[in-house]
Amino acid sequence: MLLAVNIGNSNIRFAVFKNDSEVITWTINSKPARTEYEFFAKFSNMYKPFGINKEDITDIVIGSVVPPLTMNVKIALKKIHGFKPMIVDRDTPGGIIQYSKQMGTDLYANAVAAHHLGYEGKKIVIDFGTALTFLAIDEVGEVTGVIIAPGINTALNSLVGETAQLPEIELKAPATVLGRDTVTCMQSGMVFGYLSMIEGMIDRINNELGAECTVISTGGLGGIYKPLTDKIQFDDRLHTIKGLKLLYDLNKDSYNKC
């Protein structure tokens, strides 16, 4: 079975692909940063609660947007499993075309998954991570462009951290756009404010491309925003990690695990 690991700025997501339809997935926090020894200790007992034997894992792929963690995770997993995980990034052949020399691996994996997973027409992938990103890819697999904005929790933490009187809030839609107490005022700003950005950006991208793109969301908070708009057609929290799996499958024949 393939273990795919997506190292994000907030979470490290793991997914074990038992077969095409059954995926077991869990996350750990990315912070604080850990050494290879700390990861080794943490990962050693990680599979048991999910009914997975470490011997069942025959292949590992890692994608990361946090360079200081990448090697530590790789070395720890190599020690546990006895073979070398494949690290993929924007230079790993993925059957798509993109021109950025800086593109984060999660954005690249989002593009690969959007292209290969059977979505129709031009696509927009919205990733609700530490950053909020939008990626557009056309029918032949050429990435048209990307937008990077502050992620929702990132913006909220900054707002709460920089003010004396604003509390932590639950991210849920309030009953009305105009609030009458601090919590509902903030909920409106975060939920409807970001929703307006999301809907506005989708319209702007569609206008720029002269097309009605299929919109797919992923990342921790996609599940909160998708039900609030008909502009997002699909939410798949495993979208990025499916992209990492595709990159592994496309390149495993030329990879030496030993």
Ligand X SMILES: Nc1ncnc2c1ncn2[C@@H]1O[C@H](COP(=O)(O)OP(=O)(O)O)[C@@H](O)[C@H]1O
β-strand partners of 136: 124, 145
CB of 111 to ligand PAZ, least distance (A): 11
β-sheet bridge partners, residue 60: 3
Question: Residue 133 or 188: which CB sits closer to ligand PAZ?
Answer: 133
177: Cβ–Cβ under 8 A, 6 or more apart, which residues? Answer: 188, 192
In whole angstroms, the minimum distance from the beta carbon of 131 to ligand PAZ comes to 4
Pick one of 9, 25, 153, 229: the residue that binds ligand PAZ (CB under 6 A): 9
Q: Three-class SS of residue 55?
A: helix
130 binds ligand X (CB under 6 A): yes
Which residue's structure tokens are 């107490």?
181
Q: Which stretch binds ligand X (CB under 6 A): 9-17, 53-61, 76-84, 192-200?
A: 9-17
Using the rule CB under 6 A, which residue among 1, 9, 84, 251 binds ligand X?
Answer: 9
For 146-212, the three-class secondary structure string (H helix, E strand, C coil) is EEEEECHHHHHHHHHHCCCCCCCCCCCCCCCCCCCCHHHHHHHHHHHHHHHHHHHHHHHHHHHHCCC
From the list 32-40, 122-130, 177-185, 245-253, the region that binds ligand X by CB under 6 A is 122-130
Binding-site member from 63, 85, 129, 243 for K ion (CB under 5 A)? 129
Quote the CA–CA distance of 56 and 40 in Å, as a whole number. 18
Q: Which is nearer to ligand X, 76 or 126 (CB)?
A: 126
Give the whole-angstrom CA distance, residue 138 versus residue 123.
6
Is residue 221 part of the contact set for ligand X (CB under 6 A)?
Answer: yes
Active-site positions read 106
Q: Write out the residues near K ion by the rule CB under 5 A.
A: 8, 106, 127, 129, 219
